[in-house]
Amino acid sequence: MFTSKKNFSPEYIHKKSNIINIIILLIYIMILFIFWNFQVVNYEHYKNLALMNIYDTVKIKAPRGLILDKNNMVLAKNRINFSLFISISRSKNINNTIHNLSKLLNIDEEEIKLRINKYKEYPPEYPIIIKRNIKLKTVIYLKSHKNLFPEIEIKLEPARSYPFKKIASHILGYISEIPRTFLKKKEFKNYDLGDLIGITGIESIYEKYLKGKKGEKTVIKDSQGIIKEELSSTPSISGANIHLTIDFELQKFIENFLLNNKGTVGVVDLSNGGILALVSKPNFNPEELSSEISYKKWLEILNNPDKPLTNRFIQGIYSPGSVFKIVMSIAALQEKVITTNTFYNCFGEINIYNRTFHCWNSFGHGMVNIYSALEQSCNIFFYNLGKRIDIDLISKYSKMLGLGQKTGIDLPNEKIGLVPSRKWKLKRFGVKWFPGETISVAIGHGQLNVTPIQILKLISTIALRGVIKDFHIIDYIEKDGKIIYKFKTKERQLPIQKKYFEIVIEGLYRVVNKEGTAISAKIEGLDICGKTGTAQIISKRNVNYKKLVKKGKFKPHSWFASFAPRNNPKIAVVVLIENGGNAGSIAAPLASKIYKWYFNK
């Protein structure tokens, strides 16, 4: 603009100073206009952004409901523990942080990295839980060296405690961090990553009652997510308490009795179908699984050949063995295949369909009818029934009496088992049923597979003379002293004549009280009725049978299904000892101890 003039002297520029001043004024106005636009025109927009920066709602975890036994003994409760969180945004060097944490908490660096990685979709200031249940020593160290670890935060959190450790672990289950895949589902919309959720047992099945309702805090936080001020809060609402039908003293008694045996025991109160005890061994320590368990430890438990996480009572699949003779008896009587006057002669073995079938007693039982056949558990008698009753009819009665289907007990992942039929075989293998197979099924072998709880259902239905009662482990749910749910037992009568039940019960009475297979269970003055069973794991016809069985691993499982007293029965007990061998010498005496304990208390 000054290029037209040859001499750019100060005088010349002074003359043109108006132009310079106008330029300065324009810059002044322009900049003010820009700020006006930000601070006045778009004020609301930026005000909200500023508020969004600092306001946050923090969830307050709710204490979980308690789990109690029928005598109000607390089986699962809450304690306070120290949990360690880190915020990535506050870490100067994340690799250093991981290294320090690894040394401090004695966790693999890889495991911490995996953990942090789980939260990669979360903002960097989100507190990531690294370990629960921190040792007090570590807490004190961290608190006194706070400035060294600005990224670490220690919070007090409610944690689960199972005061009796392993006892009743399969009933209670355990809690663990909610799997990431769950979070996307609608039913888990109230959960956040890092929240604990019931994984098995009562903890899982009554999760929605136990978990309670989270509280909320409105806070002001700084750019690193550090809470500076608390504005308001809605307190959390603790979960409801679950009262079980379990009698913890009985449960403990049985668990201590079983010691290191593998096996399972169930006791049911016949007046209402409530489970009094449910033992499965080996079991686990739910407290260990509910805290931060290392991946290595977890694999160790998962790969344990004894499967401590399997609740054998509802998830173990076994041949019912001779216990199944009860079903055969009911079917034969109701279908009028036999009467109490029907006798078969037992020579120790029998040839059916060109195959030789053996009785367990190779000397033979002589002439047997239904009473003595049950009492002695004579195979020959039931082979004969297998010849005369069609497999589909056997299947029908098995299912009627509760086998091959879920009992509906309020525990997760109950197995179904298998009751074979013609239709099933055709569908499964594409071939038709051979009558010879029915002979094996008749003594509880062959394709037949049941869970111990199904056997408990069977023996209970027999004890109640055809009345089926739903099993349950929950009694009622209570919140702040008010009962919000109470289990109501439903029952129905089977279309089987009562007199046939009386006949079978007489047989079962003799098993324990006359010359039967479970004479070892007899208690004077208490009419225990029961049936032993020996479930072969490998065929007796295997050439190496004797050698393999000696090794123990292939020793047959022993069953004892029973109830007492004979009239107006109070409880039913099913015992299954894996590789227990002769039922009369191990399963039956244990049942007897349970009755003694129960009726003498």
Partner 1 sequence: MKDFIKYFDKLDFLLLLGISILGIFLISSAVQDSSVNYGLKQSLWLTFSVILFFVIMKIKTDFIFKSSFLIYLFLIIILIFQILSNKIISGTKSWIKIGLFNIQTSEFIKIFIALILAKYLEKINVIGWKEFLQIFIIIGIPFILIGLQPDFGTAFTLLSFFATIFILKKIKKSIILSLLILSLVSSYISWNYILKDYQKNRILSFLNPGKYKKTFNYQSIQSKIAIGSGGLTGKGYKRGSQSKYKFLPIRHTDFILSILGEEFGFFGISFLFTLFFLFIYRQYNTRIQNNRDFTFIFLFTTIILFQFVINSLMTVGLFPIIGIPLPFVSYGGSSLLALFMGEAIIFRINLNNFLLNE
Q: Which residues lie near partner 1 (CB under 8 A)? A: 1-3, 6-11, 13-14, 17, 20-21, 24-25, 27-28, 31-32, 34-36, 38-40, 42-43, 45-47, 49-51, 53-54, 220-224, 228
Q: Which is nearer to partner 1, 40 or 431 (CB)?
A: 40
Q: Which is nearer to partner 1, 223 or 362 (CB)?
A: 223
Give the position of tokens 């990431």: 180
Q: What is the CA radius of gyration of the chain?
A: 36
The strand ranges marked E within 20-164 are 55-60, 67-68, 74-86, 128-131, 152-161
Residues 6+ apart with CB under 8 A from 384: 344, 350
Nearer to partner 1, 91 or 176 (CB): 91
Neighbours of 19 (CB within 10 A): 12
Contact 171, 203 (CB under 8 A): no
| Four-CA torsion 521, 279, 417, 441, nearest 10 degrees | -10
CB of 276 to partner 1, least distance (A): 59
- Joined together, the tokens standing for residue 294 give 């290392």
Q: Smallest distance from the beta carbon of 23 to partner 1, in angstroms?
A: 9
User: Hey, what's the torsion of the CAs at 110, 111, 113, 117, to 10 degrees?
Assistant: 130
| CB 24 to partner 1: min, Å | 6
Q: Smallest gap, in angstroms, from Cβ of residue 416 to partner 1? A: 52
Whichever of 29 and 484 has its CB closer to partner 1, that residue is 29
Nearer to partner 1, 24 or 302 (CB): 24
Per DSSP, the three-state class of 524 is coil
**C-alpha to C-alpha distance for 557 and 548, rounded to whole angstroms:** 14
Distance in Å, CB of 155 to partner 1, minimum: 21
Q: How far apart are CB 49 and partner 1 at their closest, in Å?
A: 5
- For the bound state, the minimum distance from the C-beta of residue 88 to partner 1, rounded and expressed in Å, comes to 13
Q: Which is nearer to partner 1, 36 or 353 (CB)?
A: 36
Nearest partner of 174 among 265, 90, 287, 254, judged by Cα: 287
Task: Fill in the DSSP letter of residue 39.
Answer: I
**DSSP secondary structure letters along 339-352:** -TT--EEE-SEEEE
Q: Which is nearer to partner 1, 228 or 488 (CB)?
A: 228
Minimum distance from residue 60 beta carbon to partner 1 (Å): 22
Closer CB to partner 1, residue 35 or residue 429? 35
Residue 335 falls in which region: left (phi positive, over 0), alpha (psi -120 to 50) or beta = alpha
Closest distance of CB 234 from partner 1, Å: 24
Classify residue 321 by its DSSP letter. Answer: G
Q: Could you tell me the two tokens for 42?
A: 């778009």
Report d(CA 484, CA 112) in Å as an integer: 42
Please identify, using beta-carbon distances, which residue of 40 and 543 lies nearer to partner 1. Answer: 40
